[in-house]
């Protein structure tokens, strides 16, 4: 059974609100505010206008003729890379920032891995005149220097997080610590379908727009849903966005995790960052450090709705290696003239590997972001 919204904050056994007592009232307040805003036509119209006039929605659907021919199936890309700020992240951030403003909050805090969510949050803060602080693991600050500069240029403070594995999970910890101390005037603008209720549900709803668009576009182009809908999964927000447009159709849903951060592939249920979900951990419950070439997917957990979709068999989850991702990054660049971010390059890597299974079918990939941010890293790896 597919859930329109979680029941008591849960998708089946997953989700919940495992936060310090200090944050319980804030989560309750946020849930109430979101419920109220989401049925308010004025709020919906304000968000729709921002998505259209500022972010550039709707994003196009592009058919990959050369790559499709080479792989033996029709391949379509939902072009979230063409949004303002370069990824799907802006959909959620505009929603949360407008909601925060409606709630009377004047400050945003956010975590970021690759920097895409941080840049999007910094952008929304600049647009709405809000104060903004972004937490980013020190490892990611090094490998995504360009995005760090962009956030600062946009007027946000960026703090390099030195604790733990110094990547995305530690940035989440630090953002939560900030929120515990500043909850009066601050909204935690969480960047994925994870965290305590209502975030997994709310963030999915803010990304639903891309799934709804893709459904309409597929109907026009293909006469119905594609056979496969494929998206990369770290926390899983771009995947939940596109899955939400097709979950009630016969389309097969495929989430692609990095081999070194495969929460569903290698994890067992656990509780961290406010949610119960699949989690890479040791036998005593210490959270393991993910290892991925992609800063945006370098996360040992996953959003609870993905755990639910996996547990009921509605979506399947596959893992690809860093080497396959680097190959896919070049493949899409060279066959279609589209340089993908390393994150959606995971989805491309899987469809390339699974080509024998996909022969003659129609395959929709959510191209969740563009690769400009990764070009320097790839230049170091591949040579100038």
Partner 1 sequence: MTAADNGRKGRLETTLRARRDAGRKLLVPYVTGGLPGWREAIGAAAAAGADAVEVGIPFSDPVMDGPIIQEASQRALASGVTPTGVLEELAELDAGIPVVVMTYYNPVFRAGHGRFAGALHRAGVSGAIVPDLPLEESAPWCEAADEAGIETVMLAAPTAPDDRLPRICERARGFVYSVGLLGVTGERSSLAATATDLAGRLKAITDRPVLVGVGVSNAAQAQEASRVADGVIQGASVVRRLMDGGPEAVGEYVAEVRAALDEIAAEISY
Type and span of the H or E element at 322: helix 322-336
289: Cβ contacts below 8 Å, ≥ 6 apart: 164, 165, 167, 169, 300
Q: Using DSSP, state whether 93 is helix, strand or coil.
A: helix
Minimum CB separation of residue 353 from partner 1 in Å reads: 32
State which of positions 104-123 bind partner 1 (CB under 8 A). Answer: none
Which of 109, 91, 129, 102 lies closest to 42 in space, CA to CA?
A: 102
The yes-or-no answer on residue 64 being catalytic is yes
Instruction: Please tell me whether residue 180 binds partner 1 under the rule CB under 8 A.
Output: yes
Identity of the residue, 21 or 53, whose beta carbon is nearer to partner 1 in the bound complex = 21
CA–CA distance, 251 with 218 (Å, rounded to integer): 11
Tell me which residue of 227, 241, 201 sits closest to 344, measured CA to CA. Answer: 241
d(CA 177, CA 22): 11
27 among known catalytic residues? no
Which one of 88, 133, 169, 215 is in contact with partner 1 (CB under 8 A)? 169
Beta carbon nearer to partner 1, 9 or 95: 9
Closest distance of CB 141 from partner 1, Å: 18
Tokens of 161: 């997080």
- Residue pair 325/351 in contact (Cβ under 8 Å)? The answer is no
Q: Does 16 bind partner 1 (CB under 8 A)?
A: yes
Say how far apart CA 36 and CA 38 lie, in whole Å. Answer: 6
Give the nearer residue to partner 1 in terms of CB position, either 188 or 317: 188
Answer yes or no: are the C-beta atoms of 6 and 201 closer than 8 Å: yes
Exactly one of 6, 26, 91, 257 binds partner 1 (CB under 8 A); which one? 26
CB of 272 to partner 1, least distance (A): 6
Which H or E run contains 226? none
The minimum distance between CB 35 and partner 1, in angstroms, equals 17
Based on the shown chain and the rule CB under 8 A, indicate whether residue 7 belongs to the binding site for partner 1.
no
Which residues, 223 to 282, sit near partner 1 by CB under 8 A? Answer: 268-274, 276, 279, 281
Single out the residue of 48, 145, 183, 375 in contact with partner 1 (rule: CB under 8 A).
183
3-state secondary structure at position 279: strand
Q: For residues 211 and 2, is the Cβ–Cβ distance under 8 A?
A: no
Q: Residues 287, 310, 352, 378: which binds partner 1 (CB under 8 A)?
A: 287
> Catalytic site residues?
64, 88
Tell me which residues touch partner 1 (CB under 8 A): 16-26, 163-164, 169-170, 173, 176-177, 180-184, 268-274, 276, 279, 281, 283-287
């Amino acid at each position: 059974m597919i859930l329109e919204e979680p029941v008591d904050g849960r998708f089946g056994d997953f989700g919940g609100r495992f936060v310090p007592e200090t944050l319980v009232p804030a989560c309750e307040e946020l849930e109430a505010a979101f419920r109220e805003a989401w049925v308010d036509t004025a709020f919906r119209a304000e968000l729709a206008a921002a998505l259209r006039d500022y972010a550039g929605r709707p994003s196009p659907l592009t058919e990959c003729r050369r790559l499709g021919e080479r792989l033996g199936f029709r391949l379509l890309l939902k072009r979230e890379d063409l949004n303002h700020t370069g990824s799907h992240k802006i959909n959620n951030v505009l929603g949360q920032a407008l909601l925060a403003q409606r709630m009377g909050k004047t400050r945003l805090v956010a975590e970021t891995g690759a920097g895409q969510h941080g840049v999007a949050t910094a952008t929304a803060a600049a647009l709405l005149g809000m104060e903004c602080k972004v937490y980013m693991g020190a490892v990611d600050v090094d490998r995504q220097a360009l995005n760090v500069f962009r956030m600062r240029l946009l007027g946000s403070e960026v703090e390099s997080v030195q604790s733990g594995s110094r990547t995305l999970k530690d940035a989440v910890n630090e953002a939560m610590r900030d929120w515990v101390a500043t909850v009066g005037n601050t909204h935690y603008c969480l960047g994925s379908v994870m965290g305590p209720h209502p975030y997994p549900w709310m963030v999915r709803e803010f990304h639903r727009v891309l799934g709804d668009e893709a459904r309409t576009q597929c109907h026009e182009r293909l006469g119905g849903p594609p056979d496969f809908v494929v998206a990369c999964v770290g926390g899983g927000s771009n995947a939940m966005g596109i899955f939400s447009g097709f979950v009630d159709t016969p389309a097969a849903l495929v989430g692609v995790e990095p081999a070194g951060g495969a929460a569903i592939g290698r994890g067992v249920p656990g509780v961290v960052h406010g949610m119960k979900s699949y989690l890479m951990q040791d036998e005593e419950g210490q959270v393991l450090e993910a290892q991925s070439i992609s800063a945006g997917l370098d996360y040992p957990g996953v959003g609870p709705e993905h755990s639910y979709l996996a547990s009921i068999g509605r979506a399947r989850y596959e893992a690809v290696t860093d080497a396959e991702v680097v190959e896919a990054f070049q493949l899409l660049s060279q066959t279609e003239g589209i340089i993908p971010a390393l994150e959606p390059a995971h989805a491309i890597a899987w469809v390339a590997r699974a080509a024998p299974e996909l022969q003659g079918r129609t395959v929709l990939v959510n191209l969740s972001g563009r690769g400009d941010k990764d070009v320097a890293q790839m230049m170091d790896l591949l040579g100038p």
